[in-house]
Amino acid sequence: MKKKLNKIARDTNLFLNSFLYNQKKTELIKPMRYGLLPGGKKIRSKLIVDVGKIFKTNYKTLIKIGAAVECIHAYSLIHDDLPCMDNDSLRRGKLSTHKKFGEATAILAGNSLLTIAFEILSNLNLNNNIKIKLISLLSKCSGHTGIAGGQFLDLNFEKKNIPLKKIISMQIKKTGKLFSFSCMAPLIVSNNKKNLKKFDKIGNDIGLLFQLVDDLIDYTGNSKKVGKKTKKDLKKGKATLISLLGYENTIKYTKNLKLKIFKNLDIFGDKAKDLKNTINYILIRSK
């Protein structure tokens, strides 16, 4: 699994590097590269390739779609670390983008990464109908019904008593939707309408699992190893499953969620092996 993840991360970075190299040179390219390229796990790209494997989708196309997703993800992290949001100074083992380049530059580099994702999708060598579907879905997963909406709720829920259902739906928005896009994109490329809803759901669940484990890592992890400050959610009064149900119950919840996802994948048999390996990795990872 680690070997495959590394290869996908390498291929994604190669594509992003050359895409940025071919852009018009501006002052923002440097902070954009800083927030985008070094250190990220590229787990969303891995999921795109894993789902693509089930449906025999073209690898190079999937890497480019993954690159677009990683741009959105990097933008969301740059903004997530800003003083008006989580106010974090460490990201991927180095200074967060606003600490390195200043707040205004970080905001603008984030905006530019957000828009460049759609430029990447527009340039894909696919028929226009498919491209429009990808662009439309990625917009929905990133904006007020996805990441931005979820981030709004995450901040709004701080220091409040929030019921389980609301915490889950906030986490699905802020993190799950981009995973849902990643799981649906290969089906859109292959024009497979039959399984689209199923992978929307599976993507939401994998994203939720990913965020729950991120919260567990924040609770127990070592900042040096994780590459970002830990034990911050408690201090900030973030509404998480840990704050509501406790650490042990959250672990139980993640294990059950994984079993549920695996059950939904059973009909794909061996073809879903890579995807299942990635899900296992998401659950047991320590960074």
- Out of 9, 45, 52, 80, the only residue in the binding site for ligand IPE (CB under 6 A) is 80
Q: DSSP string of 211-276?
A: HHHHHHHHHH--HHHHSS--SHHHHHT---HHHHH-HHHHHHHHHHHHHHHHHHHGGGGGGGHHHH
Question: Binding-site residue total for ligand IPE (CB under 6 A)?
Answer: 19
Nearer to Mg ion, 94 or 131 (CB): 94
Question: Six-digit token pair at 122?
Answer: 């527009």
Q: Which of residues 127-166 bind ligand IPE (CB under 6 A)?
A: 147, 151
Determine the interface stretch with ligand IPE among 55-63, 86-94, 188-196, 262-270 (rule: CB under 6 A). 86-94
Nearer to ligand IPE, 16 or 147 (CB): 147
- Residues near Mg ion (CB under 5 A) are 80, 86, 214, 218
Determine the interface stretch with ligand IPE among 26-34, 99-107, 184-192, 211-219 (rule: CB under 6 A). 211-219
Residue 175 contact among Mg ion, ligand IPE, none, beta carbon within 5 to 8 Å by kind? ligand IPE
What is the rounded CA–CA span in Å between residue 226 and residue 121? 31
Q: Which of residues 163-202 bind ligand IPE (CB under 6 A)?
A: 174-175
What is the rounded CA–CA span in Å between residue 10 and residue 207? 22
Helix (H) or strand (E) holding 78: helix 59-80
113 binds ligand IPE (CB under 6 A): no
Which residue has its beta carbon closest to ligand IPE? 40
Question: Six-digit token pair at 67?
Answer: 């690159």
Q: Which of residues 225-264 bind ligand IPE (CB under 6 A)?
A: 228
Nearer to ligand IPE, 80 or 274 (CB): 80
Burial grade of 134 (CB within 10 A; 0-12, 13-18, 19 or more): buried
What is the rounded CA–CA span in Å between residue 171 and residue 275? 21
Q: Which of residues 30-59 bind ligand IPE (CB under 6 A)?
A: 39-41, 43
211 binds ligand IPE (CB under 6 A): yes
Please report how close the Cβ of residue 276 comes to ligand IPE at its closest, in angstroms: 19
Among 177, 202, 210, CA closest to 262: 202
Angle between helices 147-156 and 128-142 (to 10 degrees): 0
Please report how close the Cβ of residue 240 comes to ligand IPE at its closest, in angstroms: 8
- Say how many C-beta atoms besides its own lie within 10 A of residue 180's C-beta: 25
- Say how many C-beta atoms besides its own lie within 10 A of residue 216's C-beta: 20
Interacting residue ranges for ligand IPE, rule: CB under 6 A:
39-41, 43, 73, 76-77, 80, 86, 88, 92, 147, 151, 174-175, 211, 214, 218, 228
